[in-house]
Structure 1
Amino acid sequence: MNWVQIPLGPLQTNAYILSNKEKDCVIFDPGSEGDKVNQYIQKEKLNPLAILLTHAHFDHIGGVDDVRKKWCIPVYIHEEEKDWLTNPELNGSTFFLTGGITAKPADHLLKGDQTLTIQDFTFSVYETPGHSPGSVSFYHKESQAVFSGDALFAGSIGRTDLRGGNHEQLIKSIHEKLLTLPEETIVLSGHGPETSIEKEMEQNPFLNGF
């Protein structure tokens, strides 16, 4: 399995594309510039299977419809944020942008910690709320990587001052769901560089003393 990080839009939100040797792929958080994502897929001759959303803040969903329409693929999101895709007030775009950002409703709703299998891709899906109420992280054991959205960053954690944010809940999510993963797990965050569970356990100042 191979993954690539594609920073998108003014906030440089990280979209990720995870692909296998057969050229099938899944797409995480196409936050804007859907054409840029589509161009990469075409260039690499990939076969998209699905869009997986770690959460529905505006900077993570702006390119969803462009990518979904191009490849006719389903979108997955946690049920707590099923209405956020269509509502600019819920996804935060009315507060940060001149025009609201929306996407069509998701095709599949996630609930609870679960195993999600999409053809040859199998993920452990963990509820990791705190940054937003429906935040989830997708752990892909084969790649030794977790797509954590805006829960955990290199040396930092997600902000909790937006709708439904809760600092204590986020810290609990990180400790109980993410830091229990193997230490060598690569953390692929919604913004910034990759990191690892081991590095964040040792160096992240927001997690010390919990």
Structure 2
Amino acid sequence: MNNRKGREVCNDLYYWTNQVVNICLYGDSNAREWVLIDCGMPHSKQAIMDAAEKRFGHSGKPKAIVLTHGHFDHVGSLEPLLKEWDVPVYAHEDEIPYLNGELDYPKGDAKADGGLVSELSPLYPHHGIDISSNLYPLPHNGEVPYMEGWNWIHTPGHTPGHVSLYRERDGVLIAGDAFVTVKQESLYRVVLQQKEISGPPKYFTMDWAEAKKSVSKLVSLQPTLAVTGHGEEMEGEELEEALKRLVENFDQIALPANQKRH
């Protein structure tokens, strides 16, 4: 398992695994200005701060936090971090109701697919949070604040306001949970970090028709490297072939059993 391990995938992008979920630290090693993408599991504030200090060589706060979406494993340490850092948080406007106290996410679906992670999912936190005083919508022009050259792409399905981040000049993609590179429903595969392409985590995905469209949208970009919310990074020919397989066989690979046509 890769808990509390990090990896630089290009000179200004580093991802760090917080138990079963990845966060991204954007900025060159030792950069004075940097951006945090997603905020990991609950009770991980200090571990995330330590990882950032190790990456950048100082304890300075980020310029901003960007969220792919607001599920508990991606915002679990957000509120405690904001007490330390008090920085702007950017999310898609369709995700804001889950981040300003208006809405809760649906409970996890225990029958979405076989595996202990799915079976336990109704017990996972599904409540929204309220970070209104720090919360801003992502700019309508598609740019990502403090991340020059990056654009956000609306990739709904897993949640209504899910976004992925993409840099066209080198094809680097931060996919969030639009697709992942581990079968997240299986605790065994999560522990082993067995690399395989998968759709969004089945037990929490809200709209499968939209999720399928979002995967097709990302595949059309022909990314060269992808960091996902769960699992190890994937690049080059391995990524190209895996994404082709996913988009061509989305219903078989991604859909939960209770959504498949018989």
Q: Same fold (TM over 0.5)?
A: yes
Q: Deviations over 1:36-88 (max 9, x none)?
A: 11112233215511111001111110111222222221101111121212368
Residue aligned with 2:156, SS = coil
Structure 1 Cα separation of the partners of residues 211 and 236 of structure 2 = 16
Q: Deviations over 1:13-34 (max 9, x none)?
A: 1111111363321101112212
Structure 2 Cα separation of the partners of residues 88 and 8 of structure 1 = 26
Deviation at 1:144, TM superposition (A): 3.9
Residue aligned with 2:220, SS = coil
Is structure 2 residue 136 aligned with structure 1 residue 108?
yes
Question: 1:29–1:52: 8 Å Cα contact kept in structure 2?
Answer: yes
Structure 2 Cα separation of the partners of residues 75 and 92 of structure 1 = 25
Residue aligned with 1:40, SS = helix
* Cα distance change, pair 133–71 in 1 and its aligned pair in 2 (3 A): same
Is structure 2 residue 247 aligned with structure 1 residue 207?
yes
Question: 1:5–1:17: 8 Å Cα contact kept in structure 2?
Answer: yes
Partner of 1:41: 52
Structure 1 Cα separation of the partners of residues 152 and 50 of structure 2 = 28
* Cα distance change, pair 170–153 in 1 and its aligned pair in 2 (3 A): same
Question: 1:57–1:92: 8 Å Cα contact kept in structure 2?
Answer: no
Larger Rg belongs to: 2
Is structure 2 residue 104 aligned with structure 1 residue 89?
yes
Count of aligned pairs: 204
Structure 2 Cα separation of the partners of residues 148 and 87 of structure 1 = 26
Partner of 2:193: none
Corresponding residue to 2:164 among 137, 140, 145: 137
Aligned counterparts, 1:1-210, within 5 A: 1-9=11-19, 12-20=20-28, 22-32=31-41, 33-43=44-54, 44-45=57-58, 47-85=61-99, 86=101, 89-90=104-105, 92=107, 95-97=122-124, 102-105=129-132, 106-110=134-138, 114-118=142-146, 121-141=148-168, 144-154=171-181, 155-160=197-202, 162=204, 165-176=206-217, 178-184=218-224, 186-196=225-235, 198-204=237-243, 205-208=245-248
Higher helix share: 2
CA RMSD in angstroms, aligned pairs only: 2.9
Structure 2 Cα separation of the partners of residues 171 and 98 of structure 1 = 25
Deviation at 1:92, TM superposition (A): 4.9
Residue aligned with 1:15, SS = strand
Question: 1:51–1:68: 8 Å Cα contact kept in structure 2?
Answer: no
Amino acid in the other structure paired with 1:90: Y
* Cα distance change, pair 162–40 in 1 and its aligned pair in 2 (3 A): closer
Residue aligned with 1:83, SS = helix
Query: What TM-score does the superposition give when structure 1 sets the normalisation length?
Result: 0.82
Structure 1 unaligned blocks of 5 or more: none
Higher strand share: 1
- Between 1:88-97 and 1:102-111, the stretch displaced more is 88-97
Q: Deviations over 1:156-209 (max 9, x none)?
A: 11035536x222211211212x1122442x111000111137534423443225
Amino acid in the other structure paired with 1:135: H
Deviation at 1:100, TM superposition (A): 5.4
% identical equivalent positions = 25
Structure 2 Cα separation of the partners of residues 73 and 194 of structure 1 = 28
Structure 2 unaligned blocks of 5 or more: 1-10, 109-120, 182-196, 251-262
Deviation at 1:141, TM superposition (A): 4.0
